[in-house]
Amino acid sequence: MSFEKKADLIVGLQWGDEGKGKIVDLLASKYDYVVRYQGGHNAGHTIVLDGKKIALHLIPSGVLNPKAINIIGNGVVVSPFHLIEEMKQFENLEGRLFISDRAHMILPYHAEIDMAKEKMRGSNAIGTTGRGIGPCYTDKVARNGFMIMELLDENTLFKKLEAYFADNKKLFEAYGVEIPSMSELMNEIRRYKEVLAPYISNTTQIVWKALREGKNILLEGAQGTLLDIDHGTYPYVTSSNTIAAGSCSGVGLSPKDIGKVIGIAKAYSTRVGNGVFPTELEDATGEKLRVSGAEFGTTTGRARRCGWFDAVAVRYACRLNGVDAVSLMKLDVLDGFEKIKICIAYKKDGQMLDYVPSSMDGITPVYEEMDGWESLKGAKTFADLPANAQKYVLRLEELIDTKIEMVSISPERNDTIFR
Ligand code: IMP
C-alpha cells in the first residue's frame, strides 16, 4: 500500500476563532479538495474578500475558490436546515459540494435540548452556541442518532423517529422540550431530502480516490485545540475531537494520510463561553483587544473574552497536533499597545508549571513583558515590520517551539506575510 500523497491540515491552537477561515481561503487555490472533519454550524469562519464579509458555518472555506471541491466529512454534525440556508449564498454547488452519507443530522429538537440543558446547568452552564451540537453527538455515541443517508429512505426514517421519541419521551419531558409533530417533522425532512439528495455521497471513497490520484487535499479543522473533548478544558469544551487526530475518524483517513499540519494561533487569546482562561483580561486592556480585534462571535454575536497570548497552551497544542508551521493571526490588533505580555508558565499551588496540567483550575499565569509598536500598516515582508513586532514574533516562536511561517496583519487576503 502506498501512502505517497498526503492530506494537509489546518487546526486551531487556542479556543477557536483563531482566523482559520482566512488561511484556508488563502491556501484554497493550492488545494483541489477542502474537507471539514468535525463540529457543525457552531463554527463560524469569516472571510473578507474585496471588503465583503462572508460567514461560513458548515460549508468548507474552499467554496470561494471555484475550482475546489468541498467535502463535509462523516465526523461533522450537519443541520440540514442550516446547511440549506448557507447554500443559498452560492450558485449551484452540485459537483463542488459533497456531504458524507454517514454524517449525523442535527434535527430541530437537538438545539432545543441544548438550550434546555444549558438553562438547567445554571451557573455551571458551558456557554454552548445553542446549536444542538452536544445533543447530536450524544445521540450519535448513544447509537440513537440519524445519519444523513437516512433521509433517502423516508419510511424507515419515519419509523425510527417514532421509536426514538417513544424511547426518549421522559427525557424530553424532563427538559421541558416538546416532541415535534411527526407530520411537521416529516414535511421538513422531505424538504431536506429534496435539496440535499444530490450532495449525499460516500465521502471517504471520494477522498481516498483523490489521494490515489495525487490531488491536493486540505483538512479544515473547526473550533480549537483547547475545546477538544479529550484534551481541552473539560467540561467546558465542544463535543468533538477538534485536534488533528479527529480528522482521521472524521473523514476516514489513517494517520499516515496526514501531511503538513498548519496550526493557527491568534497573537493574543480569546475564548467564547465559560471555562478556565488563564490570561483573561477583565479590564480596559481586555476591552481594547475586544474592540480592536472586533472580537464578537460570527455564530452567536457574543462578545469574546480576551487576554494575552498563552505560550504554554499554544506549545501544548503544537505538540498535540504535530504542528509543522504556525500562522500567527491578527498581529495588527496589538498595534498601539505600549507593553505586551506573554504567558510563559503557570503557577499552581505555589509551583511553577511549564505545561498544561490535566486540570487548569486555579492556575495563574506567569508573564513576560515586551515593548509594543505603533503600527504594522503597509508591511509586505517580515523585515518591514517594526523591530518590536519582529521581536515579539520571534519570542513566540521560541516559546511554542514551532516555526511561525505566516503572519497576518489584517483581515484582507493580501495582508499576509510569509517567512
Ligand atoms: P458547542 O460546541 O456549541 O457545544 O459549545 C461548546 C463550547 O465551545 C462553548 O464554549 C462554545 O462557545 C465553544 N465553541 C463552539 N464552537 C466554537 C467556535 O467555532 N469558535 C469558538 N468557540 C466555539
Q: Which of 37, 140, 238 to mutate to test the pocket of ligand 1 (most atoms within 8 A of CB)?
A: 238
Architecture (CATH level 2) of domain 104-198? Orthogonal Bundle (1.10)
- Tell me how far the alpha carbon of residue 95 lies from the centroid of ligand 1, in angstroms: 30
Query: Is the pTM for the entire model greater than 0.75?
Result: yes
114 CA: nearest ligand 1 atom: 4
Domain-wise residue ranges, the chain = 7-78+203-418, 104-198
- Tell me how far the alpha carbon of residue 175 lies from the centroid of ligand 1, in angstroms: 21
What are the distances in angstroms from CA 109 to CA 40, 82, 172? 15, 14, 9
- Tell me how far the alpha carbon of residue 272 lies from the centroid of ligand 1, in angstroms: 7
Catalytic residue among 17, 114, 139, 332: 17
Residue 403 CB neighbour total at 10 angstroms:
13
Query: Does 384 qualify as catalytic in the annotation?
Result: no
Compute the distance between CA of residue 362 and CA of residue 92 in angstroms, rounded to an integer.
51
Name the grid cell of 265: 494561533
The residue contributing the CA closest to ligand 1 atom 15 is 42
**Amino acid symbol at 311:** A
> How many CA atoms lie within 13 Å of 210's alpha carbon, on the beta-carbon side?
26
What are the distances in angstroms from CA 219 to CA 27, 35, 77? 11, 5, 16
**Could you report how far apart the first and last alpha carbons of the chain are, in Å?**
36
Closest CA to 44 of 11, 17, 84, 75: 17
Compute the distance between CA of residue 95 and CA of residue 307 in angstroms, rounded to an integer.
43
Name the grid cell of 108: 430541530
Mean pLDDT by 10 residues, the chain (419 residues): 83 95 86 97 78 83 89 98 93 95 97 97 95 98 97 97 97 96 96 98 98 97 97 97 98 97 98 96 97 87 95 98 98 97 96 94 96 96 98 98 97 90
- Tell me how far the alpha carbon of residue 238 lies from the centroid of ligand 1, in angstroms: 6
Q: Which of 272, 274, 277, 329 to mutate to test the pocket of ligand 1 (most atoms within 8 A of CB)?
A: 272
Question: Torsions phi, psi of 372, nearest 5?
Answer: -90, -165
pLDDT of residue 403: 98
pLDDT of residue 53: 72
The string of DSSP letters for 6-74 reads -EEEEEESSSS-SSHHHHHHHHHTT-SEEEE-S--TT--EEEEETTEEEEESSS-GGGGSTT-EEEE-T
Residue 351: CB partners within 8 Å, gap ≥ 6?
Answer: none
Query: Does 110 qualify as catalytic in the annotation?
Result: no
Q: Which of 10, 11, 42 to mutate to test the pocket of ligand 1 (most atoms within 8 A of CB)?
A: 42
For 7-78+203-418, give the CATH class: alpha beta
Catalytic residue among 25, 41, 45, 257: 45
pLDDT of residue 61: 86
- Tell me how far the alpha carbon of residue 19 lies from the centroid of ligand 1, in angstroms: 15
**Amino acid symbol at 353:** L
Q: Which residues line ligand 1 (CB under 6 A)?
A: 15-17, 42-44, 126-129, 131, 133-134, 222-223, 227, 236, 238-239, 272-273
**Amino acid symbol at 258:** I
Closest CA to 84 of 189, 222, 204: 189
CA angle 303, 308, 314 (to 5 degrees): 100
**Helix 133-141 vs helix 108-121: crossing angle, to nearest 10:** 110
β-strand partners of 47: 54
